[in-house]
């Protein structure tokens, strides 16, 4: 397999995420329907978070076992555990910090520009700043929904970087058939992840540019991981990326859960979450079969 063909496969695996994004442009969606969509996405993200955290904890357990059996020095073992702890912490705290100081302000400014351009009444706040006083329903997603969607995309992107590493490393070691099967499995998985990114925006009116950016954040790292994995392998790098991804997906799961509680009663909420979890699990089975 040529290097160009390998990168093409990595791109296909990552950008199938765009197949799940059209749900964001469905119009006239009821609040309860949006709640179900969000809960289904919560189940998918919950599954991914559990899967990733389990892999991260396994890396830490192997380090401890290696230390206990004398196969690994104390420095590397403790260092790996500290990296895992730091990665999970960054994932849990880093995304809300970025969301608060970068994503939300940018999304709010974009929403305000969209509202002003739509002809909504504009008034002054007394200090010369023009603000929209009214807006037609579903003119644009709220800043908080955009921020949540981008947070989901960021967490999934870190996860998908690890998937790309697996594709690249398989090809680099000569396991071409395995690499192709991984592309198929990860591609199917990424379709459900695209749904997870789009679910908070269902029934709103996100711009094509916003959806393109969210898709690139979520799916692009698969391509980058394929590129890196084909040239370089490292347990430390895997621990860093997987731990950050795990922490970020834990954060996103809590955000989606609270959003779902505001739209659905507990029983339908949990039923939809279970459905999403099982959808993620079934797509993971495809990946497991591909890996033999």
Q: Is 249 within the bounds of a domain?
A: yes
Report the range of poorest mean pLDDT among 95-104, 218-227, 264-273, 278-287. 95-104
Q: Is 268 within the bounds of a domain?
A: yes
What is residue 115's predicted lDDT score, i.e. its pLDDT? 54
Residue 102 pLDDT grade (very low, low, confident, very high; cuts 50, 70, 90):
low
pLDDT > 50? residue 138: no
Listed ranges 75-79, 136-140, 188-192, 195-199; the one with the highest mean pLDDT? 75-79
Q: Is 101 within the bounds of a domain?
A: yes
What is residue 1's predicted lDDT score, i.e. its pLDDT? 64
Backbone φ, ψ for residue 278 (5° rounding): -70, -35
Reported as a single tens digit per residue, the pLDDT across 241-291 is 778 777 877 887 887 788 778 778 889 999 999 998 998 888 778 767 765
Reported as a single tens digit per residue, the pLDDT across 139-148 is 455 667 777 7
Q: Is 135 within the bounds of a domain?
A: no
Q: Is 235 within the bounds of a domain?
A: yes
Reported as a single tens digit per residue, the pLDDT across 30-47 is 767 777 877 887 888 788
What is residue 247's predicted lDDT score, i.e. its pLDDT? 82
For residue 172, the tally of other CB atoms under 10 A from its CB is 16
- Say if CB 46 and CB 277 are below 8 A apart: yes
Express as a percent the part of the chain with pLDDT over 90. Answer: 3
Q: Is 210 within the bounds of a domain?
A: yes
pTM for the model: 0.63
Number of domains in the chain: 1
Q: What is the extent of the structural domain holding 25?
A: 3-106+141-290
CA dihedral 108, 111, 117, 123 (to 10 degrees): -50
């Amino acid at each position: 397999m040529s290097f160009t063909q390998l990168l093409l496969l990595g791109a296909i695996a990552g950008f199938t995420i765009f197949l799940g994004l059209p749900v964001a442009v469905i119009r006239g969606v009821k609040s309860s329907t949006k709640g179900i969509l969000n809960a289904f996405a919560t189940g998918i993200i919950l599954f991914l978070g559990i899967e990733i955290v389990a892999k991260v904890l396994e890396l830490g357990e192997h380090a401890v076992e290696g230390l206990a059996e004398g196969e690994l020095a104390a420095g590397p073992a403790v260092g790996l555990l500290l990296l895992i702890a730091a990665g999970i912490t960054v994932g849990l705290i880093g995304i809300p910090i970025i969301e608060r100081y970068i994503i939300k302000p940018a999304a709010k400014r974009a929403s305000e520009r969209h509202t002003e351009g739509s002809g909504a009444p504009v008034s002054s706040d007394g200090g010369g700043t023009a603000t929209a006083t009214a807006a037609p329903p579903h003119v644009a997603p709220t800043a908080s929904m955009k921020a949540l969607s981008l947070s989901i995309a960021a967490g999934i992107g870190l996860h998908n970087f690890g998937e790309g590493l697996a594709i690249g490393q398989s090809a680099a070691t000569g396991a071409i058939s395995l690499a192709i099967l991984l592309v198929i499995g990860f591609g199917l998985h990424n379709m459900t992840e695209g749904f997870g990114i789009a679910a908070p925006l269902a029934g709103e009116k996100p711009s094509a540019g916003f959806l393109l950016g969210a898709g690139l954040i979520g799916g692009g790292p698969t391509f980058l991981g394929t590129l890196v994995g084909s040239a370089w392998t490292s347990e430390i790098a895997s621990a860093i990326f997987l731990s950050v991804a795990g922490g970020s997906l834990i954060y996103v799961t809590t955000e989606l859960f609270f959003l779902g509680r505001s739209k659905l009663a507990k029983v339908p909420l949990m039923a939809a979450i279970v459905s999403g979890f099982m959808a993620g699990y079934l797509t993971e089975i495809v990946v497991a079969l591909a890996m033999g």
